[in-house]
A and B are shown apart, each in its own frame.
Chain A
């Protein structure tokens, strides 16, 4: 069964710093990988989706990379802002399933 791990579980950085969140998965036969943001007590907001044939996706200050063969993805956040404070979740689709397998998230705090 697919297992997804996110390290670190929590991260605090000063405003303006660039940072990297890590995600690893055990089975490389995935269809895609998705990064989400979750604010306390709220649902999930999709940030980026990388298809299995892609290496990276970018949206504004966010850049996600995928190395399927090694079972790793990173989410790079440039010039962090206090509004970036949230929990970031990584999830993979597959193998052989419609549903997502989630990591337990990284709780990010950006200090003004």
Chain B
């Protein structure tokens, strides 16, 4: 069974802290994605990566960075957490783009920044 795992289900941090969200997939997928989900706004893409050490900005990259040192792992970094980054963060992975390219999602991390 395919699996995307995220390091934490719930996380509480203070303003200004550096925050790491980890995502691991076991499907040997090339593509990995980080989204945030907010009520009324739906899912918005923060960053994605189509290969090791490669990254592309999504729609809302400000305040975030990412790291992909290994194919199976994609990390989202909040350099200095702020209250407006309180959200549900969802990681996903997929194989090569186009056609039969199903995205698989992790369980999500609900981050609260105080």
Q: A71 contacts the other chain (Cβ, under 8 Å)?
A: no
- Is A43 in contact with B105, judged by CB distance below 8 angstroms? yes
B58 CB contacts on chain A under 8 angstroms? 99
Interface size class on chain B is 20 to 34
**Count of chain A to chain B residue pairs whose CB atoms are closer than 8 Å in the complex:** 68
Nearest-Cβ distance from residue A45 to partner chain B, whole angstroms: 7
CA–CA, A42 to B88, complex, Å?
A: 9
Whether, in the assembled complex, B106 has its beta carbon less than 8 Å from a beta carbon of chain A, the answer is yes
Chain B residues positioned under 8 Å from A34 (CB to CB): 102-103
A32 to B95, CA, bound (A): 13
Query: B6 to chain A: closest CB distance in Å?
Result: 8
A10: shortest Cβ distance to chain B, in Å?
Answer: 13
- Asked if B43 and A93 sit within 8 Å, CB to CB, the answer is no
Judge if A60 is at the interface, Cβ distance under 8 Å: no
Total count of chain A residues near the partner, CB < 8 A: 25
Binding-face segment, A12-20, A62-70, A76-84, A100-108: A100-108
A49 at the interface (CB under 8 A from B): yes
Closest CB in chain A relative to B49 CB, distance in Å: 9
A98 touches B50 (CB 8 A): yes
Question: What 1/0 flags go to A83-95 for Cβ under 8 Å of B?
Answer: 0000001010110
Interface positions of A (Cβ within 8 A of B): 31-32, 34, 36, 41-46, 49, 51-52, 89, 91, 93-94, 97-100, 102-105
